[in-house]
Chain A
Amino acid sequence: MATDITRLGVKATWKDLTEGMVIAGAGTSKEFNTGEWSTDKPVFIEEKCKQCLLCTPVCPDSCIPVKDGKRGGFDYGHCKGCGICVKSCPFGAITMEGV
């Protein structure tokens, strides 16, 4: 059974912690907001996008969701604003100040 990590905040007592500090389940980091690390954010200009998807493999933070061969909007809850995707787009469909 997957661990309920909502009970494992930094105020958790020693009795609350999981045995052996294991986490049963997966992908719990989604609950951790890294989007606030940077105020610079890429902007997706959908009309310019040709859905070539070259921006998707270059994201270090898995912040460009793809469904059925088409990308959606950025996951701003986690995007750290590195700007790699801006440079990868051949069509100018992603902009960002300073990149």
Chain B
Amino acid sequence: MSYNFKETMSKTERLAPGHRMCAGCGGTIAVRNVLRGLHEGDKAVIGNATGCLEVSTFTYPYTAWEDSYIHNAFENAGATLSGVEGAYRVLKRKGKLDETFKFITFGGDGGTYDIGFQSLSGAMERNTDMVYVCYDNGAYMNTGIQRSSATPMYADTTTTPVGSESNGKPQNRKDLAAIIAAHDIPYAAQTTFIGNFKDLHVKSEKAIYTPGAAFLNIMAPCPRGWRYNTPDIMEICRLGVETCYWPLFEVVEGRWILNYEPKKKLPIEDFLRPQGRFKHLFKKGNEYLIEEFQKEADRRWEELKFRCSRG
């Protein structure tokens, strides 16, 4: 798919201002740019798991959505959109509806990786014609930065606090994009905010217009939870990709494709250093923790490259 940046930026805005997400939020950057993947004239129903995005974008009576929108609960965004999509099929079949609607649901990593995992898995397995978008900020931010299964190892969160006996979260993060890809859905991809958003845009458009189930995992930094300098979000994302912590890839009909390979892979500490949640790793004597983090990032990167080499 070709990408005309100026044309894409000139499209009608589908997320209105006046929502109450924090200043500098990565979540709404993800949403705005995913919605630009919709073709002009096509209508959409947006689903949303409970979370920051939901409480901030539809605070009665103010909706920030320019399309139809449904929030149901925390753990059931997948199933809820399954029902909406089922309604669309039957209304079309009965000749009660002429227009084209697309179905996109947004969830944070709490609503996606964890509490909504079953509902998401069901919707994907049933190959529901929808896109599930996870804006992954690596913790339960809405309730105040508690660890999730998307939280990276050693992150300081309010339920994995750093202390005399703790180096932050002891476990690795779940590889959700791979798990969803293993549902054998037509399209799954991982992306974040890079340059002129070509990667995110192209993947969004593909996900929206691929018939059947599609999944996008978007790293969407949270300035409060990650504790970096708010204006630096694009740099944080770039470092996530250049250190191969957050690789850009897609899985199309079961074929794994690596979308970007850094010419010179940066050391993981370049990604970790600007973030307050990893501050303790840079204390004297904790070098081994960074080494372990690097080892795990390398292992995952090699595994991904291997998958992609098989095509």
Contacts and interface: CB of A to CB of B under 8 A. Distances in A.
Nearest to B20: A34
Interface of A: 3, 5, 8, 18, 21, 23, 25-34, 37-38, 53-54, 56-63, 65-69, 75, 77-78, 80-84, 86-88, 99
A82 B61 contact: no
A19 to B, nearest CB: 13
Given A33-B18, A37-B23, A53 B5 contact: yes
A29 B9 contact: no
B304 interface: no
A29 B57 contact: yes
A57 B10 CA distance: 11
B61 A27 contact: no
Interface of B: 5-7, 9-10, 13, 15-29, 32-33, 36, 57-68, 193, 195-197, 223, 230-235
18 contacts: A3-B61, A8-B60, A23-B58, A23-B63, A26-B63, A30-B16, A31-B62, A32-B59, A53-B5, A57-B9, A57-B36, A61-B28, A62-B13, A62-B15, A62-B28, A65-B13, A80-B23, A86-B231
A23 B193 contact: no
A57 B196 contact: yes
B108 to A, nearest CB: 15
Contacts of A27: 16, 63-66
Given A8-B61, A31-B62, A83 B230 contact: yes
- Select the residue from A30, A37, A63 with max chain B CB neighbours within 10 A: A30
Contacts of A54: 195-196
Contacts, number: 133
Nearest to B21: A60
A29 B19 contact: yes
Contacts of B231: 82-84, 86-87, 99
A26 B67 contact: yes
B16 A62 contact: yes
A21 B60 contact: yes
A28 B26 CA distance: 22
A80 B234 CA distance: 17
Nearest to B25: A60
A60 B61 contact: no
B63 A28 contact: yes
Contacts of B13: 62, 65
A68 B10 contact: yes
Nearest to A82: B24
